[in-house]
Amino acid sequence: MVFAHSHLLGIADLSRAEIVLLLDEAERYANGEGEPDALAGCVQVNAFFENSTRTLLSFELAGKRLGAHVLTMAVAQSSVAKGESLADTARTIEALGATAIVMRHPQSGAAAVVAAAVRCAVVNAGDGTGEHPTQALIDALALRRRFGRIEGLTIAICGDIRHSRVAKSNMLLLTGLGARVRVTGPAMLLPAEVPDGVSVLPNMDEAIADADAVMMLRVQHERMTDRIELSVADYHARYGLTCERFHGAAPEAAVMHPGPINRGVEIDGALADDPARSMILAQVALGVPVRMACLAAVHKHR
Ligand code: CP
């Protein structure tokens, strides 16, 4: 099986076999195996037009562990502020020798715009409400490590589904690997359409009933035109993952969150910190091997 893409823009572009290949490669890197110098002589430029902690740092670590020269562009100090277009910025980065551009941008489709403008590899690190493919791969690997499989699991994704690129990528990936996915949240934060195999359940208790994993998402105020009409206390009571509510999930259920978490809003701090239940920091840690696998795959195809 060969990864047949020179860019990683979204889960929607990948076959089931390609997803499994990336997960298997990431597992090898997580176990200290895998090709160590896969990116020797390569130049990776991280261009993040939106804030990030986990994704940016783990892409930096991933590139460095594979032997690449890694540069992180200081977007606020860049010539983007002088009106340079995204495509011209990308061509400039490529002209300086980049073999890969890892990009985060507030506009959906921005990574595809850059991929069309350059010959080097482009990896989408989150584009608006579009996709966040490497986060979904992390989440899938975390689930596979905990449960030994993804097929047949029931996963509840809760909160701001409409604006979440993490939810979009996860719905595609998890259903593609045979999981049952339920989504829930306030009506104004539910999506108009969902992929086949995803159920929309407005009642959170119904959505998490007997679920194997409950994935919480923060409310993405930065992408909303209308303010959510609930107070923080009301939101937490109706849509937050409280310790009490979590008892409705399966007996061995896991708690997930891509981060950043808002304690006391979408999740009780005690659940986020529960080492027996919470996979949140395990998800963060898997960011490095998953991104190593993705960077190696797109470079290998070139
Ligand atoms: N999960 C995630 O994308 O986190 P960051 O915004 O910190 O990168």
Ligand 1 is surrounded, with C-beta below 6 A, by: 52-55, 126, 135, 258-260
Measured in Å, residue 284 CA sits from the centre of ligand 1 at: 9
> Mean pLDDT score of the chain, rounded to an integer?
96
Work out the average pLDDT over 65-86. Answer: 94
User: Which pLDDT belongs to residue 200?
Assistant: 98
* Closest CA to ligand 1's atom 5: 52
Band of the pLDDT at 254, cuts 50, 70, 90?
Answer: very high
| Cβ-based burial of 69 (10 A; exposed 0-12, middle 13-18, buried ≥19) | middle
Measured in Å, residue 104 CA sits from the centre of ligand 1 at: 10
Residue 168 has phi, psi (to 5 degrees) of: -60, -50
Band of the pLDDT at 84, cuts 50, 70, 90?
Answer: very high
Tens digits of residue pLDDT in 8-25: 999 999 999 999 999 999
Tens digits of residue pLDDT in 166-179: 999 999 999 999 99
**In DSSP terms, which residues pair with 69 in a beta bridge?**
43
Band of the pLDDT at 157, cuts 50, 70, 90?
Answer: very high
Q: Report if pTM > 0.85.
A: yes
Instruction: Please report the atom of ligand 1 found closest to the CA of residue 53.
Output: 7
**In DSSP terms, which residues pair with 158 in a beta bridge?**
184, 216
Tens digits of residue pLDDT in 133-153: 999 999 999 999 999 999 999
User: Which pLDDT belongs to residue 36?
Assistant: 85
Q: Is the pLDDT of residue 220 over 90?
A: no
Work out the average pLDDT over 84-94. Answer: 97
